[in-house]
Structure 1
Amino acid sequence: MTAQRAVVLLLVLALALGSAGTVALVLLDGDTATSDPRDAPTTTPAPGATVPPSPDLARFYGQRLTWEPCRGVGLCATLEVPLDYRHPRGETVGLALLKVPAADPGRRLGSLVVNPGGPGAPGTDYAASAAAVFRQPVRDAYDIVGFDPRGTGDSDPVDCLGDDDLDAYVAQDPDPDTAAEASTYAGWVDRIGRGCADRSGALAAHVSTVEAARDMDVLRAALGESSMAYFGASYGTKLGATYADLFPDRAGRLVLDGAVDLSLGSRELSRQQAQGFETALRAYVQDCVDEGDCFLGDTVDAGVARIRALLDDVDAEPLPTDSDRDLEVGNAFYGIVLPLYSRDFWGALNDALRAALDGDGTELLWFSDLYVSRGSSGYTDNSAEAIYAINCLDDPWAIPAAEVPDQLADFEQASPTFGSVFAWGLTTCGGMRVEPAEPPREVRAAGADPIVVVGTTRDPATPYQWAVALADQLESGVLVSRDGDGHTGYNSGNNCVDEAVEGYLLAGVVPDDGLSC
């Protein structure tokens, strides 16, 4: 794959860059909507739609959105929300919105709010790519509405590091194997935490998932909807489930795809995610072996060992690229991990690995840059910083570097290739300097309408068992399982999953709990 290929990448970096938690990646083609956004229907608020949870929030719930054509695909607006819901008369945050109007106004059902995950991925980009994310029946019936959650994208983004420092942070060895590398790693843990507090001020303490979920209800009211229809992927499942727990009477047709187990702490989430990526890596190598004459080796074990050896070689001596930047070991790690999110990119990973084994790191560096939203002249969004800030507010638990060796055996058993990287990631939130304004909740969503939870059996980023667990945790959870590879299940070539999701979103038909596709 080359940089010229028309690809939209919406990705949020977790793994070693953020606290252990969730990753979201959606790889899309470059299609865009063709309807004229100025033909969008107006929405008249339904009775009671703008009733706030408390009188002090009335001005936010009653606001009218001013939509303007943007990006050639939709309408953009800004939603105002309080920085601190405990003090709604204080500072405010502006949330960037993008709406792609329903393609068939005569069949329009309302607004479908969407989130691609992360945390940190811009929801406006996700909505702008609706033509690739959602199938035509959904696009016909819904205005697809994306928002950049507070602290992300164009919604008053948090800032933790300058671009040069962020480059160095990403490139460092995520699995330090010398005292000097361990010292450097620990220094970055402290530096990013201090940077978020110093560079972002009060905002750094107000980008939690609970606060973002409260923002969603303000958005629902501003859209004039009496209930929330929502599609969330990866971390977006955590956000959607939290919304349903906070506002069960407002939660309508919710679909949570690539689910996160909200009962797990950071350590166990990280260990299970390491195992998920190991499973995906081995499935990728197995595919190469099955094709015959695999360049990585004749067996899965041999192929995985060669990839591990490549990472060790790059750690010892970075590879040149066609730019003025070398491929360092951190870049190589992320460059390998990214294509594991989708089978569609396994061929591109073949090309990148062949080139790297021949001494050229260009393609792996390109994948790494996509992973952290780095363009040719700098970062295109703050997702690599936002994921740190949000995850560490949601769960600030961390261990000191001195305790990492005690974790290695367990993590390497779960993932011989990546386990040590995830073990070191347990230190990440140790540098956090701010306290969350509102702690996370035990999520049950009691009283909410049915919530459809989708899990994929060989999902690398959100292991299948997380979907099983979340469906069980939600009192109205309904599990739909996809047997397959890659991250998330809807619109991934499985008609059974697609029909189950669309049957619920479009007609309110609840799938059978435990449906296997």
Structure 2
Amino acid sequence: MRTYGRSAAFVALSVTAVATVLTGAVTPQAHADAPTATVASATTTAPKLSWRPCAREGGPAAQECADLPVPLDYHDPDGPQLSLAVTRVRSDRPAARRGTLIVIPGGPGSSGVQRVTQKGERLQRETEGRYDIVSLDPRGVGGSTKAGCGLAPEDRELVHLRSWPGADGSITENVTRSRRVAEACARNGGAVLRSLTTANEVRDIDRLRQALGEEKLSAWGSSYGTYVGAVYAQKYPQHTDRWVLDSSGDPDPSRVAKGWLANMSAGAADRFPDFARWASDPARDAEGLRLAQRAEDVQPLVLDLAARLDREPQESTTPGVPLTGDGLRMALQMALYNDEAFARLAGLVRAARDTSSKPVLPDGLSGPVPDAEAAVTIAVVCNDVRWRGTVSSYARAVAADRVKHPLTAGMPVNITPCTFWKDAPGEQPTRITDQGPSNVLMIQGLRDPSTPYSGALKMRAAFGDRARLVAVDHGGHGMYLGNGNACGNRAVTTFLNTGTRPERDAYCAD
């Protein structure tokens, strides 16, 4: 490592199911008019956690789970409560224990409990028992209280939840669908759906800190979790110890959520050449996965195939669900997250080019995504900030972006349900500043398809001297213990274990 100068799927669940998991005899609608301005953490006595074993296949044998009650509305901390699923893996070296490290999942809509199941053992080894490793399922996710919009199955298909324009660039169908989804969420979501915000997730994390009896937390936030972590560090700097942000987006309040999505156009363009080189490598011949003789020929091939599938969707192995052009584009976006997915994408392209074959659709494209997941992902980004724009302004943005970034076909700048959201955000997005302890380490891939490097530099600039950035010359989304390399992993592990960061921003060669 040498030094140098310088975020899903959408979904929803029925209101009846939500009401049954509220603590107390209150329906979600009963708190519909609760104020949502910025509030302090609840002042009531911190809840007690009753831990139980919950080891899962492939996860830490010592993983435990509990349920954390949190206020539906922090203005009324003793009022209706929601239940959040929380998990921990306790330090296996009590004499070496430093404190508690919270894993902040991405999304919005990812499960912290699942993240600890996947990464807990590795993280425990890396940190040599210095931390109890904890996480939670945010409101609306996994084992926590859920909300719902009551969306039709067609509106829960991933290629519709992402606003892919028509083959000719038209957004007429996107406008109709976005309006319909927003109206369903307003009609069916209730107070629980309206409580799904970054600000409340930050408050819930601090509630967990209090329940754990910790004065400070260390953290590893990934993707959208980096924004949650940044907001926590801004709101509760006195409660932060060693703070790791992995794969960050632009935190500018004017670009929160809408800007993250728009940045995916540049992210895909940054990342695709990695796939093109892989798919044109002669080593692919033996695997039957070589798509072209030259890397520069892979993108035209994929774009031509998507255009053909726009005109003539191809029957897949999933009855009633053909592979469409948007299906192929969506599969491409998902595959760019990790090198290990390249082979599946190349196989899909090869199968689709043979019009007599039936391609196997990747996970996530063979049917509607689960209802509750759509609701939380839609609600958080729509509740956090007002999405401004007119139908005509979105149409112009799509037309321009399709020319500049053909791989994403205008989807990242297209209209979404947030444009028609019924409830105005109750709080302004938090501005990240350089005021606070200098205890943040950022790690970022140079070719990230979801949170591109250019956006991460905005997070780095916002933190000023509070942060250091380790840039990893690799593609994919999520660097630490994921798509990165030994150099980047070592930088993060050293910081978590010793508190030592690079003196200046640093670079890790691939």
**In structure 1, the residue corresponding to 2:73 is in which secondary structure?**
coil
C-alpha change, 1:410 and 1:178, in structure 2 (3 Å) is closer
C-alpha change, 1:168 and 1:150, in structure 2 (3 Å) is closer
2:156, 2:369 within 8 Å by CA — same for their partners in 1? no
Is structure 2 residue 287 aligned with structure 1 residue 302?
no
The corresponding residue for 2:338 is 342
**Counterpart AA for 1:140:** G
**Counterpart AA for 1:339:** A
C-alpha change, 1:281 and 1:143, in structure 2 (3 Å) is same
Equivalent of 2:100, from 99, 108, 111? 111
Q: Distance in 1 between matches of 2:46 and 2:121?
A: 33
Q: Distance in 2 between matches of 1:208 and 1:400?
A: 24
Is structure 2 residue 394 aligned with structure 1 residue 407?
no
The corresponding residue for 1:57 is 42
Q: CA deviation at 1:418?
A: 1.1
Q: CA deviation at 1:188?
A: 1.3
String of CA shifts for 1:432-470, please: whole Å, max 9, x gaps: 122223221112262234111111111111111222221
Equivalent of 2:495, from 504, 508, 511? 504
Q: CA deviation at 1:355?
A: 1.6
* More divergent stretch after superposition (118-127 vs 487-496): 487-496
**In structure 1, the residue corresponding to 2:82 is in which secondary structure?**
strand
2:106, 2:224 within 8 Å by CA — same for their partners in 1? yes
1:398, 1:428 within 8 Å by CA — same for their partners in 2? no
The corresponding residue for 1:232 is 221
**In structure 2, the residue corresponding to 1:113 is in which secondary structure?**
strand
After the TM superposition, which segments of 4 or more aligned residues of structure 1 sit over 6 Å from their partners? Answer: none
Q: CA deviation at 1:487?
A: 1.0
Is structure 2 residue 136 aligned with structure 1 residue 147?
yes
Coordinate RMSD, CA, aligned: 2.7
Which runs of no fewer than 5 residues in structure 1 stay unpaired?
1-10, 19-52
The corresponding residue for 2:34 is none
**In structure 2, the residue corresponding to 1:440 is in which secondary structure?**
coil
Q: CA deviation at 1:367?
A: 5.3
Equivalent of 1:368, from 361, 365, 368? 365
- What is the 5 A alignment of 1:151-162? 151-162=140-151
- What is the 5 A alignment of 1:193-212? 193-212=182-201
String of CA shifts for 1:335-380, please: whole Å, max 9, x gaps: 22111101122122211221222245543343535xxxx6xxx645
**Counterpart AA for 2:112:** G
Is structure 2 residue 207 aligned with structure 1 residue 218?
yes
Q: CA deviation at 1:269?
A: 3.7
Q: Distance in 1 between matches of 2:457 and 2:450?
A: 15
Which runs of no fewer than 5 residues in structure 2 stay unpaired?
1-6, 13-38
Is structure 2 residue 57 aligned with structure 1 residue 69?
no
**Counterpart AA for 1:297:** A
Equivalent of 2:375, from 385, 395, 410? 385
The corresponding residue for 1:278 is 269
C-alpha change, 1:278 and 1:364, in structure 2 (3 Å) is farther
**Counterpart AA for 2:339:** R
**In structure 2, the residue corresponding to 1:402 is in which secondary structure?**
helix
The corresponding residue for 1:315 is 310
**Counterpart AA for 1:500:** A
Q: Distance in 1 between matches of 2:68 and 2:188?
A: 23
Q: Distance in 1 between matches of 2:126 and 2:258?
A: 40
* More divergent stretch after superposition (444-453 vs 384-393): 444-453
Is structure 2 residue 77 aligned with structure 1 residue 92?
no
Q: Percent of aligned pairs with the same residue?
A: 27
The corresponding residue for 1:6 is none
2:268, 2:449 within 8 Å by CA — same for their partners in 1? yes
Q: CA deviation at 1:130?
A: 1.8
Q: CA deviation at 1:89?
A: 3.1
C-alpha change, 1:400 and 1:154, in structure 2 (3 Å) is farther
String of CA shifts for 1:394-452, please: whole Å, max 9, x gaps: 2231433333332145423541221412232x444112122223221112262234111
Q: Distance in 2 between matches of 1:332 and 1:325?
A: 16
Q: Distance in 2 between matches of 1:270 and 1:104?
A: 42
1:148, 1:155 within 8 Å by CA — same for their partners in 2? yes
Equivalent of 1:333, from 311, 329, 334? 329
C-alpha change, 1:107 and 1:151, in structure 2 (3 Å) is same
Q: Distance in 1 between matches of 2:282 and 2:220?
A: 36
1:220, 1:226 within 8 Å by CA — same for their partners in 2? yes
* More divergent stretch after superposition (211-220 vs 439-448): 439-448
- What is the 5 A alignment of 1:426-445? 426-444=415-433
Is structure 2 residue 384 aligned with structure 1 residue 394?
yes
Is structure 2 residue 459 aligned with structure 1 residue 470?
yes
The corresponding residue for 1:516 is 507
Residues paired across the two proteins, number: 460
Q: CA deviation at 1:281?
A: 1.7
**In structure 2, the residue corresponding to 1:175 is in which secondary structure?**
coil
TM-score (norm 2): 0.83
2:85, 2:137 within 8 Å by CA — same for their partners in 1? yes
**In structure 2, the residue corresponding to 1:474 is in which secondary structure?**
helix
**In structure 1, the residue corresponding to 2:500 is in which secondary structure?**
coil
Q: Distance in 1 between matches of 2:43 and 2:155?
A: 40
Q: Distance in 1 between matches of 2:168 and 2:249?
A: 34
**Counterpart AA for 1:298:** Q
Q: Distance in 2 between matches of 1:353 and 1:106?
A: 54
Q: CA deviation at 1:193?
A: 1.2
**Counterpart AA for 1:494:** N
Q: Distance in 1 between matches of 2:222 and 2:378?
A: 18
**In structure 2, the residue corresponding to 1:457 is in which secondary structure?**
strand
Q: CA deviation at 1:135?
A: 6.6
* More divergent stretch after superposition (342-351 vs 181-190): 181-190
The corresponding residue for 1:290 is 281
Is structure 2 residue 475 aligned with structure 1 residue 485?
yes
C-alpha change, 1:428 and 1:199, in structure 2 (3 Å) is closer
Q: CA deviation at 1:104?
A: 3.5
Q: CA deviation at 1:513?
A: 2.5
The corresponding residue for 2:24 is none
Equivalent of 2:174, from 185, 201, 211? 185
TM-score (norm 1): 0.82
C-alpha change, 1:163 and 1:502, in structure 2 (3 Å) is farther
**Counterpart AA for 1:92:** Q
2:112, 2:138 within 8 Å by CA — same for their partners in 1? yes
**Counterpart AA for 1:124:** V
Q: Distance in 1 between matches of 2:121 and 2:476?
A: 16
C-alpha change, 1:340 and 1:168, in structure 2 (3 Å) is closer
Q: Distance in 1 between matches of 2:264 and 2:158?
A: 21
* More divergent stretch after superposition (323-332 vs 466-475): 323-332
**In structure 2, the residue corresponding to 1:230 is in which secondary structure?**
strand
